[in-house]
Amino acid sequence: MKFDVLTLFPEMFQVFEHSIIKRAKDKGILNINPINIRDYSGNKHKKVDDYPYGGGPGMVMQAEPIYNVVEALQNQYGYKPFTILMTPRGRKYNQNIARELSSKEHVLLICGHYEGIDERIMPLVDDEISLGDFVLTGGEIAAMAVIDSVSRLVPGVLSCNESYEDESFYNSLLEYPQYTRPEVYKGMKVPEVLLSGHHKLINEWRKYQSLKITYEKRPDLINKTKLSKEELKILDKIKKDLDVNVDK
């Protein structure tokens, strides 16, 4: 899968020269290509911003350099990559969108800065994505989060499907608790069921814990998730168990 990123700070994407993503890049599974928007400025000083029409604070990124990059890429590839603008007004990002994007072969991410980008770039944009209801200094960190979360779903990036299928949000629920050696630490013991070697009981425990943690910490996810009959039974038991504990 290929990611092109339009940014004023391509050096920020050196973060992908480490760990799982770097290994996937070395294998040719991923291609992450930061492109400096300034290189496509028609201004001799590589200026890419100007004062906003109508007045107001700050500067606005110009449309022309963005068009110049996209047109150059389209000429290079023979097609326009699926183009995403990282913007506060976009769809709020989640795991479902990550899965949706992982089916794309080529994604182009545009990172805004200053007071935003000239609205006239919108004919180039196929989708708008927001990382959440908070403000960042630019779109780079949001773009990194998208690249990382989508890349994990690309076949071959992780060692096996289980590495992400049991993770939080994969099935809209939070992940069950994890433990490793030693068996006892500061008086805290690993749950006996995980030491039993009984895979059926372990799976049942993990389903229960996943639903319990989601119900307690993110009940909004429960309301958005279509639970199976088995999961609904487990959830009923969780509610009863929690009521008993409250009564005590």
Summarize pLDDT for 107-138 with one digit per residue, the tens: 999 999 988 999 999 999 999 999 999 989 99
139 among the known binding-site residues? Answer: no
The answer to the question of residue 156 being in a domain is no
The response to whether 201 counts as a known ligand-binding position is no
Q: What is the mean pLDDT of the chain?
A: 93
Q: Answer yes or no: is 158 within a domain.
A: no
Does 157 show up as a binding residue in the annotation? no
State how far the Cα of 230 lies from the Cα of 233, in Å rounded to an integer: 5
Q: What is the CATH number of the domain that holds 170?
A: 1.10.1270.20
Cis peptide preceding 182, ω within 30 of 0 = yes
5 is in an annotated binding site: no
Is there a binding annotation on residue 156?
no
- 83 and 182 housed in the same domain: no
**Whether residues 223 and 110 fall in one domain:** no
112 marked as part of a ligand binding site: yes
| H-run or E-run covering 194 | helix 192-195
Residues 131, 35 within the same domain = yes
Over residues 36-62, the pLDDT tens digits come to: 999 999 888 999 999 999 999 999 999
CATH number of the CATH domain containing 111 = 3.40.1280.10
**Number of domains forming the structure of the chain:** 2
Hunting for tokens 């109508």 — which residue is that? Answer: 54
**134 marked as part of a ligand binding site:** yes
DSSP for 156-169, written as a single string = TSSSSTHHHHTSTT
Distances (CA, A) of 178 to 183, 184, 199: 12, 14, 15
> Is residue 161 domain-resident?
no
CA 13/CA 15 separation, integer angstroms: 5
